[in-house]
Amino acid sequence: MLINFTKITALKTYRSLSVFLLLIAIGWQTPIRAQHCPFDGSSAVIIHLPATQGAIAGDSSLSYFLAETDTLHSDSCTYAVGPLKILFRSIDTALVKKYSNSWKYRAEQFIKVTGFNSPDFLTVVLNQAETSCMIQRKKDGEFNYTKRKFEIRVFKGGQMIRQITVPQEKIYSLCTSSGSWTRIQPIEISTGD
């Protein structure tokens, strides 16, 4: 009996290829629940206090908060029960010191190209639950996501003196798959706002 090694090799190759393609097809359909980029799920709102306004940038009696507005059921949100009110801080405090090890290094590298580490920029970094209200569905345990709406509230002493609406497009994803951080444009705060 003569064995055709070419046919056997071709059959083995075909079976190996079929198994490989089957594994790829199964993997393609399986949801991947891994972080795909640095700062995945994090967003930032950055304000700029122009030095030309003098009194704003240099007035230590002013404080700036990112405050949630108009989010229905904010008290039912999972992981970040609202309504939220978060103090604006330096990007070093809000982002760089928030992370350790290589994340801290990555944050330092990313902000070097932006110029946001100067004293006239203030930042709020939001996690995924703070960016979107997450309400868990009872029937399947998954979440419904509703984008939260924010405004900047400026206080002098304990009195609010200004409110500035934050457009959704000014809440920037920090995930690098959304683009370089140089795309981030701060909200300019001036005496005329």
pLDDT confidence of residue 186: 94
* Cross-strand bridge partners of residue 46: 123
Is residue 123 within 8 A of residue 88, CB to CB? The reply is yes
Ranges under pLDDT 50 in the chain: 32-34, 53-55, 193
pLDDT confidence of residue 4: 58
- pLDDT tens across 68-110, in order? 998 777 888 888 887 899 999 998 888 887 766 667 887 888 8
pLDDT confidence of residue 191: 58
Tally Cβ neighbours within 10 Å of residue 60.
Answer: 5
- Region of 20 (left: φ > 0; alpha: ψ -120 to 50; beta: rest) is alpha
pLDDT confidence of residue 100: 66
Taking CA atoms, 54 is separated from 15, 89, 98, in Å, by 73, 18, 29
The DSSP element (H or E) to which 8 belongs, if any, is helix 5-29
| Confidence (pTM) | 0.74
pLDDT confidence of residue 177: 79
pLDDT confidence of residue 16: 62
pLDDT confidence of residue 54: 45
Q: Which residues of 63-85 are buried (b: 16+ CB within 10 A; e: fewer)?
A: bbbbbbbebeebeebeebebebe
